[in-house]
Amino acid sequence: MENIKDYVEENKERFINELIELLKIPSVSADSAYAHDVISTAEAVKFSLEKAGCDFVELCETPGYPIVYAEKIIDKNLPTVLVYGHYDVQPADPIDLWTSPPFEPVIKTTDIHPEGAIFARGACDDKGQMYMHVKAFEYMIATNTLPCNVKFMIEGEEEVGSKSLSWFVERNHEKLANDVILISDTGMISNTQPSITTGLRGLSYVEVEVTGPNRDLHSGLYGGAVANPINILTKMIASLHDENNHITIPGFYDKVEELSDAERAEMAKAPFSLENYKKALDIDDVYGEKDYVTNERNSIRPTLDVNGIWGGYTGEGAKTVIASKAYAKISMRLVPNQDWEEITALFKKHFESIAPKSVKVVVKPHHGGQGYVTPIDSVGYRAANKAYTETFGVPAIPVRSGGSIPIVALFEKELKSKTILMGFGLDSDAIHSPNEHFGVFNYLKGIETIPLFYKYFTEMNK
Amino acid sequence: MENIKDYVEENKERFINELIELLKIPSVSADSAYAHDVISTAEAVKFSLEKAGCDFVELCETPGYPIVYAEKIIDKNLPTVLVYGHYDVQPADPIDLWTSPPFEPVIKTTDIHPEGAIFARGACDDKGQMYMHVKAFEYMIATNTLPCNVKFMIEGEEEVGSKSLSWFVERNHEKLANDVILISDTGMISNTQPSITTGLRGLSYVEVEVTGPNRDLHSGLYGGAVANPINILTKMIASLHDENNHITIPGFYDKVEELSDAERAEMAKAPFSLENYKKALDIDDVYGEKDYVTNERNSIRPTLDVNGIWGGYTGEGAKTVIASKAYAKISMRLVPNQDWEEITALFKKHFESIAPKSVKVVVKPHHGGQGYVTPIDSVGYRAANKAYTETFGVPAIPVRSGGSIPIVALFEKELKSKTILMGFGLDSDAIHSPNEHFGVFNYLKGIETIPLFYKYFTEMNK
């Protein structure tokens, strides 16, 4: 059988060019202006799976964007791996901060990526990491080395809450039946130190609207006499954290699991340089919850961040106006055991309760998802770790991620199977930011590592 | 001599149509996209003054938009009235709240304006009120009843701080020499109760920028670990008012004049219904500084209002991002004796001092102006009061306005003359808001009243 290293070496130009073509389609699920491009991307993914050798591929209609489903069943008695990924991407704005257009992929070298990185929205999250699985599958088919059954489920609404995916999964238990779910939509510590994400934070995302007077007012004639919705909104948001940066919403921490000193000591072993962290972000100091360190604040602790705020005159020059309305988008990252719907309700109740009588407040829940923790002694985890160890030369470290993949908890509930998060991205890849990129090394290393997971997972199941 | 009432009656259609033509030009000084329209408006005003009978008219170049200067000198020994007004307007946004396009004037009747009101940006502030003076002058020339000399100075940057006007006034003391300055850029209590504005608030307008990380970040990977500039900005702004809605900037109130109980009792006599006030704005409660009533909060007390705020993702849907930067436009209304430049410096010093080490803050002063109080025993005030009394049947009430006309204080300093604020607008005219309008009654009543001011001012000066 041909060696995967050689196969990647021979085909890497094509692998990169195929990904670049996929990245050119602006599949922004949050903005309906891109609806047509999101669909085109789904069709492109479907085509790539057919070409790679799946014997059944379809675009499954949903209440929202279609889900690409594909499968290759070689023997009902062999284990089945379900690969999940998403073909939609985050909005690209602020556009003007991109050094090259977000949907015109280019390869540039960086300090961390001397072999070059592909710069484009979605390069890492998640088109690049999802496409590694398509190419790894292509290899196993081409060399007749696929050791088990495989199913692909690639969705188009991950960046907006995966509503349609839940709808789809609930209705297709049989079709999606599997022994393990494999996802590459997370990161690893560095290109010399692989890691496997064992915990994810949940999410509650809301939008708030504060209304003062029924029309914009002249700030001279009315200033000081009526509630300014922007001033009120800032007061309300500011009050959501106390002086220790604890969140003040009653009941918010009730179900938060407190880690033991031993567990915290274990976490503290992961390589981390506060100086490099601050330098990379160009900040003089970090900022967060009292009594916790940076690596705890962004992984095992819940948070509340304003993701967007707007109101009044934001154009050029000056306008002396008191706006009628002010708005904010606010998201809370949750830890395992915090129920996102319960937290959303607590936020709504509290936020409405702190509004002064002089304004009207509306809280609109956007979407959310549960947190998740996976054991490190499962067959899937051990197979993944063995694969990483072989391609990187060192075993992977288990880490808790601060991010959310809302559907991981859903999979466990609906499909009763564990998810393995084999991420190949880096924190510095700027996902959700201008100049998102994915290292060529990481992309090819992923393609090289994934078939080994199939191999060991199948062997360990014998 | 033909009676002014008859003259207005005969020419009112033309008066209204001429104003409508002027209102069609979007002379938004705050937005450079309208630069060409601002210039066209200056030329239209120049033309109207020539046509009305000035014997010298010119567009005076400045570092910014031109100032329209015109004069009619009939006798060096007679007093000279300097009329000031502005031809620029506020931005029209939010456009979607206008019931008819802001620059396509239409006449509609309202409860307060049964004879109809002209709806357009600038209808009242200040094209409509400025143009009353052009038409009143036309009448005096046409009927050969101009009793004194008159000079016009109409600027194009009032809505953005009148920078070029200060530059112009400082350089043209001789040219602008006058015995009284007459301005219609304020309001009156109602169409049955005229009033003369005797006090104006000063203004300090700043823009603030808070920078956290050097790029937008994924709120899952970084949330809770780095300072979110939007959360920080809300905390900083919220801290600018204490629980009694006093402004917390050290030294802010040092020079604020406290009115005597007698003066406050006098103010309280002005007709005012809190119920109607709340009903008109559709608010359940007013909001402001403890121990002061609404009519004091918006006139004799200084204020701090956010006029605009923005940062992060403000588009459709959800984006889980921590923005790199957050911004706000903040203005402070000042009372007489508070120096706007000193207050701006105090704000800057304080705002920078409350920023946590984890963010960088920039405070950019926009513009400002001093407050002003005028005596009610001056010849100008008495002449204006007599004119109002004759056309409205009741004497005018002196009132303090919360608005700012930054250049009034400048005029007194540079030209050593008093300003009379003969306003004919109403608070309900929605200046600076969508659906700004100016009553046809008010427009024509102004044209009718102004010549009487010239008459009595000249007589009282004999």
Instruction: Note the pLDDT tens digit of each residue in B220-270.
Output: 889 999 999 999 999 999 999 999 999 999 999 999 988 888 888 877 888
Q: What parts of chain B have a pLDDT lower than 50?
A: 1
Chain A neighbors of B431, CB-CB under 8 A: 218, 221
Residue in A with minimal Cα distance to B220: A403
Q: Which of residues 153-192 of B touch A (CB under 8 A)?
A: 159-161, 187
Is the pTM value of this prediction over 0.95? no
Q: What is the mean pLDDT of residues A5-23?
A: 97
Percent of chain A with pLDDT over 70: 100
Whole-number pLDDT of residue A430: 93
Task: Please name the amino acid found at residue B77.
Answer: N
Q: Which of residues 333-372 of A touch B (CB under 8 A)?
A: 333, 356-359, 366-367
Residue A1 has pLDDT above 50, yes or no: no
Residue A429 has pLDDT above 90, yes or no: yes
Minimal Cβ distance to B358: which of A201, A212, A287: A287
A215–B431 CB contact, under 8 Å: no
Tokens of B102: 């802001």
Helical H segments across A239-339, by residue range: 261-268, 274-281, 294-297
* Rounded Cα gap, residues B231 and A240, in angstroms: 10
- Residue B260: DSSP 8-state: P
Residue in A with minimal Cα distance to B406: A220
CB B330 within 8 A of CB B307: yes
Whole-number pLDDT of residue A191: 96
Q: In whole angstroms, how far apart are CA B60 and each of A166, B36, B154, B242?
A: 68, 16, 10, 47
Whole-number pLDDT of residue A372: 84
Residue in B with minimal Cα distance to A400: B221
Residue in A with minimal Cα distance to B234: A234
Q: Which of residues 365-384 of B touch A (CB under 8 A)?
A: 366-367
Minimal Cβ distance to A228: which of B90, B302, B305: B305
Chain B neighbors of A327, CB-CB under 8 A: 314
Whole-number pLDDT of residue B258: 85
Whose CA is closest to A334, among A347, A349, A322, A320? A347
Whole-number pLDDT of residue A360: 98
B253 part of contact set with chain A, CB < 8 Å: no
Q: Which of residues 98-157 of A touch B (CB under 8 A)?
A: none
Residues A360-384 have pLDDT tens digits of 999 999 888 888 888 888 999 999 9
Percent of chain A with pLDDT over 90: 83
At residue A84, φ and ψ (nearest 5 deg) are: -115, 145
Minimal Cβ distance to B220: which of A297, A311, A403: A403
Output the average pLDDT for chain A. 95
Minimal Cβ distance to B30: which of A94, A315, A435: A315
Q: Minimal Cα–Cα distance from B432 to chain A, Å?
A: 6
Whole-number pLDDT of residue B41: 98
Residue A262 has pLDDT above 90, yes or no: no
For chain A, the distance separating the N- and C-terminal CA atoms, rounded to the nearest angstrom, is 22
Residue in B with minimal Cα distance to A238: B235
B265 three-class SS: helix
B244 part of contact set with chain A, CB < 8 Å: no
B160–A317 CB contact, under 8 Å: yes
Residues A188-218 have pLDDT tens digits of 999 999 999 988 899 999 999 999 999 999 8
A246 part of contact set with chain B, CB < 8 Å: no
A305–B226 CB contact, under 8 Å: no
* Rounded Cα gap, residues B361 and A183, in angstroms: 41
Helical H segments across B217-260, by residue range: 219-222, 229-238
Whole-number pLDDT of residue A337: 87
Minimal Cβ distance to B318: which of A30, A288, A306: A30
B134 three-class SS: helix
Q: Minimal Cα–Cα distance from B422 to chain A, Å?
A: 16
Whole-number pLDDT of residue B228: 98
Whole-number pLDDT of residue B1: 46
Residue B412: CB atoms within 10 A of its CB come to 16
Q: Minimal Cα–Cα distance from A213 to chain B, Å?
A: 5
CB B212 within 8 A of CB B322: yes
Chain B neighbors of A286, CB-CB under 8 A: 225-227, 358
Counting beta carbons within 10 angstroms of the beta carbon of residue A84, is it exposed (0 to 12), middle (13 to 18) or buried (19 or more)?
Answer: buried
Q: What is the mean pLDDT of residues A225-246?
A: 98
Residue in B with minimal Cα distance to A435: B215
A297–B435 CB contact, under 8 Å: no
B420 three-class SS: strand
Q: Minimal Cα–Cα distance from A276 to chain B, Å?
A: 13
Counting beta carbons within 10 angstroms of the beta carbon of residue A54, is it exposed (0 to 12), middle (13 to 18) or buried (19 or more)?
Answer: buried
Q: In whole angstroms, how far apart are CA B332 and each of A352, B243, B303, B309?
A: 28, 18, 5, 15
Chain A neighbors of B313, CB-CB under 8 A: 91, 93, 307-308, 329
Q: Minimal Cα–Cα distance from A319 to chain B, Å?
A: 7
Whole-number pLDDT of residue B318: 85
Q: Minimal Cα–Cα distance from A109 to chain B, Å?
A: 19
Q: β-pairing, A56-60 with A117-119? A: unpaired
A215–B241 CB contact, under 8 Å: no
Residue in B with minimal Cα distance to A216: B433
B314 part of contact set with chain A, CB < 8 Å: yes
* Rounded Cα gap, residues B361 and B354, in angstroms: 10
A318–B205 CB contact, under 8 Å: yes
Whole-number pLDDT of residue B195: 93
Q: How many CB pairs under 8 A join A and B?
A: 370
CB B178 within 8 A of CB B412: no
A322–B305 CB contact, under 8 Å: yes
Q: Minimal Cα–Cα distance from A144 to chain B, Å?
A: 39
Minimal Cβ distance to A218: which of B359, B367, B431: B431
Chain B neighbors of A234, CB-CB under 8 A: 233-235, 237-238, 306, 309
